[in-house]
Amino acid sequence: MQRCGGKRFPFIFSGAQDRKKVNLIAGDSNVHRIKDILPGDIAVKCLPISGAKFSGDHRGFRHALLRDLREMDVQQLYIHLGSNDILTNEAVFYRDVADLCDVVHQVSPDTEVVLCEVLPRCADYRQGCWIPEGRLTAMQKWIKRANSLLS
């Protein structure tokens, strides 16, 4: 018991043993769409960061992810990245994927990590984005190879 202003009150320590286990979906801006399709009885926290990448993290994704892993008891982590890494050198991409997984396991060793497939890309003419057909074909091939190695 602690004293505060002459009154006694129980002092509660909030540690890992008191934290509720959660599932975390972390990744690029597509993550917020995933939560909308999940049943309401699943405890999920989403960490969407627009433009997040495995390679060349300029959006602070790794920092935000590690912060959440330290603050929560994450049972399963779904990493939904890769769409913004298209055409990154494949060796660099896979090294960065492995590095991120290693860091996650150092910070939260009991967390199960699930790597989601990279979403396909297509030219979105409504957004004023035109991707030349040859480049689009190269992107689709890259995604297919990436997904075969992530699974």
Amino acid identity of residue 5, one-letter, is G
Let me know if residue 8 belongs to a domain.
Answer: no
pLDDT above 60 for 101: yes
Let me know if residue 5 belongs to a domain.
Answer: no
Share of the chain above pLDDT 90, in %: 20
Query: Out of 11-25, 44-58, 100-114, which region has the weakest mean confidence (pLDDT)?
Result: 11-25
Let me know if residue 95 belongs to a domain.
Answer: yes
Look at residue 20 in the predicted model and tell me its pLDDT: 67
Residue 42 structural domain: 17-150
Let me know if residue 1 belongs to a domain.
Answer: no
Q: What is the mean pLDDT of residues 38-50?
A: 81
- The alpha carbon of residue 105 and the mean position of all alpha carbons in its chain are separated, in whole angstroms, by 14
Virtual torsion, Cα 42, 17, 67, 105, nearest 10 deg: -90
Element (H, E) at 79: strand 73-80
- The alpha carbon of residue 47 and the mean position of all alpha carbons in its chain are separated, in whole angstroms, by 6
Residues paired with 23 in a beta bridge: 44, 76
* Distance separating alpha carbons of residues 4 and 139, to the nearest angstrom: 63
Token pair in block for residue 83: 């769409």
Q: Where residue 28 sits, what CATH number does that domain have? A: 3.40.50.1110
- 51 and 84 Cβ atoms separated by less than 8 Å: yes
Amino acid identity of residue 82, one-letter, is G
pLDDT above 90 for 137: no
Q: What is the mean pLDDT of residues 70-98?
A: 85
Q: What is the mean pLDDT of residues 143-151?
A: 73
Let me know if residue 48 belongs to a domain.
Answer: yes
Q: What is the mean pLDDT of residues 75-88?
A: 83
The average confidence (pLDDT) of the chain is: 76
Query: For the chain, how many structural domains are there in total?
Result: 1
- 150 and 117 Cβ atoms separated by less than 8 Å: yes
pLDDT above 50 for 128: yes
Let me know if residue 68 belongs to a domain.
Answer: yes
pLDDT tens per residue, range 7-35: 433 333 334 444 568 889 998 888 877 77
Let me know if residue 6 belongs to a domain.
Answer: no
Look at residue 13 in the predicted model and tell me its pLDDT: 35
* Distance separating alpha carbons of residues 68 and 45, to the nearest angstrom: 10
Let me know if residue 52 belongs to a domain.
Answer: yes
Look at residue 9 in the predicted model and tell me its pLDDT: 34
